A and B are shown apart, each in its own frame.
Chain A
Amino acid sequence: MSDNNTSPLLELSHVGKEYYGNRVLSDISFSIDSGEIIGLVGENGAGKSTLLNILFGMPVIASTGGYEGSIHIDGKSVHFTSPNQALAAGIGMVHQEFSLIPGFTAAENILLNREVLNGSLMSYVFSERVSTLDREAMHNRANAAIHTLGVNINPDMVVSEMPVGYKQFIEIAREIDRKNTRLLFLDEPTAVLTETEAEILLTALKKLAKSGIAIVFISHRLSEIKELCSRVVVLRDGKLITDQPSEELTTRQIASLMVGRQNTRREEHRVILEKASDVNEVLSPQPEKKKKPKPALRVEHLWVDMPGETVRDVSFEVQKGEIFGIGGLAGHGKLGIPNGIMGLYPAGGKVRLFGKRLTLNRPRAALSRKMAFVSEDRRGVGLLLDEPLDWNITFTAMQMQGRFLIGIPYIFQMRNELAMRSEAKKFIDSLEIKCTGPSQKAGELSGGNQQKVCLAKAFVLRPNILLICEPTRGIDIGAKNLVLDTLKEYNKENGTTIIITSSELEELRSVCDRVAIVDEGRIAGILPASSPAEEFGMLMMGQNKKNNDDEEGEESA
């Protein structure tokens, strides 16, 4: 770049962040020069969003105690406390979720709050607030911004009528129309684009970089990172793992850097696994070959229309007594699978339970076939927050199986509060739920204890198949282990088939026999839990979708 500019455009040194004693970022240092494109990669929860929030001066950072380290722009130390300051300093950001006004046209959205104004007496007397808009100039300016991106969108088109790909371009056009933008953050801009649209975008970004704008590109598509970025920064567990030129790395290496954990933690999980010896038998790489009974659950070409977790075409089999894991990045549809099977979201395809077809789209049908479900949305779906624990634990069993009722069936039955209470007490003791008693409201418990209540609710049903979503989301480590151990024990004691869906790959690998990785609504591959981490990483990143079978062959050989 220019010689007179010795210091980099943006420099981070030792940036760290803690949320309520929970460290999410530590000691992040890297720098960006003008015109450079950097790829920022990391799993969900690696700290990418927090880093962006810090750089963009989001109020959430300041309100939780600020951050450590320092940030320099052009060698000058800055400390943003509001997004406006970041904007003024020339930082632009395109978020994953669109922030466009649906009823406005493209031009109005691009120039929002920077409209071209007509001067008039009114605006002279009062203020600019009352002046009218120069529609033609706005049209032209928006057009120019859109054309910089190399696409052809009519600036007068209303945003709500646009395909998602267009919306993404409008978001970016808005950032580059801002004259002083020098540094652009793009958070998964290609996630919603088709391949051709993505290519157009990548070309446009390269063009932008040539004009001197620095770009930080966040994506889970590693091939794009390879193609576009000159440098790759990998975050994992809030730490900076590597910062090196992209030519030096293969996509496979990047993937393994992203997911590869310290060996110590893996060993620990191994040991737990060794202990459960009879689980181990099923654990051997390919259980399908050993026994050929009817699978407990057989899913064929399942699609589920769950907002944000669309499942496109999924087929898999789960053996009786198996613990089956479903992993993958957020938003790729892993949560849609169990929700769809349970009938909570519109779904299609074939699901067979012990050989018999299951009616989809009716929670009642799934429950009456002795399936139990623990929702990922604990507070939204999993619990009656305003009702006591015994209600929460026994309600489903009461409604579906007619238990905990007193009186003559079909004629007159009232709920049996005594039986409800004693059942709840049983689970409070066995799962060590910390509460004042069965009549405490579920909403008053901590996350971990609420999760245990959800498990108890499922156990009361005495299920044949247990579907569990995100069993450890938002609970502390102690509770986490207890929940996972409970599941393993339950599987061992009752031979219940358990399907766990989780974003935490390590957790799945420590508990499950086999793990399926979901990518963009399809199963990218099913691996035995003992496969190396980078295999899973590659599947997650949507790499080698086609030669996936070869990979598995290699692994078992």
Chain B
Amino acid sequence: MIKKFIDNAGWPRIIIALFLLGLFIAAPFVGVNVWTSLNNTLVRFGMNGVMVLAMIPMVQAGCGLNFGLPLGIIAGLLGATLSLEWNTEIMSRLLDLGAKYNITWLNEIFVNTYREPLGFASAIVIAIPVAAVLGWLYGKLLNRVKGDEMMIATYVGFSSVSFMCIAWLLLPYKHPTMVWGYAGRGLRTTISVEGYWLHVLNDALAIKINDNFTIPTGMILFFLFMAVIVWIFMRTKTGTAMTAVGSNPEFARASGVNVDKMRTISVVMSTILGAIGIIVYEQSFGFIQLYMGPFYMALPAVASILLGGASVNKASILNVIVGTFLFQGILTMTPSVINGYLQTDMSEVIRLIVSNGMILYALTRKVRAGR
């Protein structure tokens, strides 16, 4: 019974889970509030969940881990910034319209009650087609480099970030809260979403347990909703074909499946999920981070899913949930507990050591899983 559980869960996860538990137990003794820590862990889980979920389609289709996640993130950033850019204009148009025809409920819905959720939704709606186009091109590229997907993907991610560094400066954004104050053009490095859609998911249906612990119900539900969509998709005819392509492309081809098409679809899905993921992240984080912001975003997501027990060619929703929780848990707890113990502030250093160390660990595991 216990042995079977260990076999199913795998030693790495058990060890890390025990370590995490240990940190929670040690926390009160060094003056760290357990409730706050739990809250942080849960919030970070919700923030990052969708981006980790973005790994699944590509892994299942045999395209490896999506190190090119920054591409999807860029699509998400475009969606987010454009939604902010157009927000005021659309709003004033709607107000005009409402005034003209005397429709008060229009005002009520768009401007007052649902302004924030609609803004958030519009960011996603704008981001999805952008992500689909970028993902389609990215998929075409990956079909040409079969066998080396992960390395090429890494460079796709890095180079797209660098390209966008130029683009953010040149794109004709006008909104005063987003552009540099002194020049009047070029986007700032961080843009606050306060007053737009800050915490729309976090605060939706939030359950306050005590001063330090609030369950971000909306965000968790949104993650679960996305997870269910992916789960259902992987069970459709296309999803099944995709899994078969990842498992044995030759078999899939001999069964009449268009291998390249399936791979492209998986990359498009992965990119779209990445775009949605970053918007969820931003609404909780409070800022849109441009320029080098997306640069290292793929690594925590990759590390999470590997930590959750996925291999380079098999991943499940459970891997995502377990992996994200463990990774974000360790990432929250280690700095605060160790900080409290050492009585100095070196949380950022510890965070870097821990997160990169875990990626290193997860990637060495990947090599073994690959064989």
Contact = CB atoms under 8 A, between A and B. Distances in A.
Contacts of A377: 250
A45 to B, nearest CB: 25
A121 interface: no
Contacts of B235: 414-415
B237 A405 contact: yes
Given A384-B244, A384-B248, A414-B232, A396 B256 contact: yes
A367 B255 contact: yes
> Which of B236, B243, B248, B314 is the most central at the interface, judged by chain A CB atoms within 10 Å of its CB?
B248
A230 B253 CA distance: 50
B236 A384 contact: no
7 contacts: A363-B256, A380-B248, A381-B251, A384-B247, A385-B248, A400-B256, A413-B237
B221 interface: no
Given A364-B258, A368-B256, 18 more contacts: A363-B253, A380-B248, A380-B250, A381-B248, A381-B251, A381-B254, A383-B251, A384-B248, A385-B247, A385-B248, A391-B244, A395-B255, A396-B254, A399-B237, A399-B241, A405-B237, A414-B236, A415-B240
Contacts of B244: 384, 387, 391, 395
B254 A363 contact: yes
B141 interface: no
B165 interface: no
Interface in B169-184: none
Contact of A415 (B237, B247, B254, B257): B237
A384 B242 CA distance: 12
A364 B258 CA distance: 9
A192 interface: no
Contacts of A414: 232, 235-236
A198 interface: no
B251 A384 contact: yes
A382 interface: yes
Interface of A: 342, 344, 363-364, 367-368, 373, 375, 377, 380-387, 391, 395-396, 398-400, 402, 405, 412-415
Contacts of A368: 256
A181 B142 CA distance: 51
Contacts of B241: 399
Given A367-B256, A399-B256, A413 B250 contact: no
B237 to A, nearest CB: 6
Contact of B254 (A373, A398, A402): A373
Q: Which 4 residue pairs of A and B lie closest in terms of their CB atoms, listed nearest first?
A: A364-B256, A396-B255, A381-B250, A367-B256
Contacts of B232: 414
B237 A387 contact: no
A385 B247 CA distance: 8
A109 to B, nearest CB: 29
Contacts of A380: 248, 250
Contacts of A342: 254
B247 A412 contact: no
Contacts, number: 69
A413 B254 contact: no
A277 B347 CA distance: 84
A398 B257 CA distance: 11
Contact of A412 (B236, B248, B253): B236
B255 to A, nearest CB: 4
Contacts of B250: 377, 380-381
B236 A399 contact: no
A400 B248 contact: no
A399 B254 contact: no
A225 B314 CA distance: 54
Interface in B327-354: none
Given A342-B254, A363-B253, A398 B247 contact: no
Contacts of A413: 236-237
A344 B251 CA distance: 10
A385 B251 CA distance: 10
Nearest to B233: A414
Nearest to B313: A386
A367 to B, nearest CB: 4
A377 B232 CA distance: 32
Interface in B197-249: 232, 235-237, 240-241, 243-244, 247-248
> Which of A384, A402, A412 is the most central at the interface, judged by chain B CB atoms within 10 Å of its CB?
A384
Contacts of B240: 391, 395, 398-399, 415
A382 B256 contact: no
A314 to B, nearest CB: 21
A168 B236 CA distance: 53
A377 B249 CA distance: 13
B263 to A, nearest CB: 15
A381 B255 CA distance: 10
A455 to B, nearest CB: 15
Nearest to A374: B254
A73 to B, nearest CB: 42
A502 B314 CA distance: 35
A402 B237 CA distance: 8
Given A415-B236, A415-B237, A375 B247 contact: no
